[in-house]
Chains A and B, each alone.
Chain A
Amino acid sequence: DGGITQSPKYLFRKEGQNVTLSCEQNLNHDAMYWYRQDPGQGLRLIYYSQIVNDFQKGDIAEGYSVSREKKESFPLTVTSAQKNPTAFYLCASSRDNRGGQPQHFGDGTRLSIL
């Protein structure tokens, strides 16, 4: 079945450590997105990519990095510069970024600090 796969489901980070969250889609979607969700805060956009080898910062990009080397993959690295990384991270994709296409979401990764 087509969909978006995020892994791992749970992730723990030590102080000063970089961790990478995986996001893979087999929907043949051009656009991909990373969101952070904190309790009672809704979703905030971290990074997005409209095409392979291109990506843009969202509203809260500081302390995060991404790459888009393949259409189906959009990994997110939470760097040690992100001082408050504990949150629920959601990856999404859409067919393209025109015409109000709905975004489809993965199951999320819950990141905690050890």
Chain B
Amino acid sequence: AQKVTQAQTEISVVEKEDVTLDCVYETRDTTYYLFWYKQPPSGELVFLIRRNSFDEQNEISGRYSWNFQKSTSSFNFTITASQVVDSAVYFCALLEANRDDKIIFGKGTRLHILP
């Protein structure tokens, strides 16, 4: 069965610190997609990144970076030099290729960046 676990319910860090949000997934498929979304206090989910299961290359986008490791079924998200505007709930999600209709979301990690 497919599953996404975000073990960190809530994290608080001081501004300018680095922070890593963990995501562990379960799937029996060999082809799947992983996503990260950000939900600021305003409520909408903002798409951040998509990776497919055949591309384990890590990705960096400004202060954001993602580490995808199939060996540990993890897709972790790191924010470098955090800022107050990074405060939000972050969701990791899984979509199996043979179940194109349903994305499975983790329960989210609430990140507080303290000034």
Binding site for B on A (CB under 8 A): 31, 40-43, 45, 48, 50, 56, 58, 88, 90, 92, 97-100, 102-108, 110
Contacts and interface: CB of A to CB of B under 8 A. Distances in A.
Interface residues of B, number: 24
B100 A103 contact: no
Contacts of A107: 42-44
A42 B105 contact: yes
Contacts of A88: 43
Contact of A100 (B37, B52, B107, B108): B52
A103 B91 contact: no
Interface of B: 9, 32-33, 35, 37, 42-47, 50, 52, 91, 95, 97, 100-103, 105-108
A104 B102 contact: no
B12 to A, nearest CB: 17
Nearest 6 pairs between A and B by C-beta? A100-B33, A105-B45, A42-B107, A108-B43, A97-B100, A43-B105
A31 B113 CA distance: 35
Contacts of B103: 45, 103
Contacts of B37: 105
A42 B106 contact: yes
B102 A45 contact: yes
Given A100-B100, A106-B44, 20 more contacts: A40-B108, A42-B106, A50-B101, A56-B101, A88-B43, A90-B43, A90-B45, A97-B100, A99-B100, A100-B33, A100-B50, A100-B97, A102-B47, A102-B50, A105-B37, A105-B44, A107-B42, A107-B43, A108-B43, A108-B44
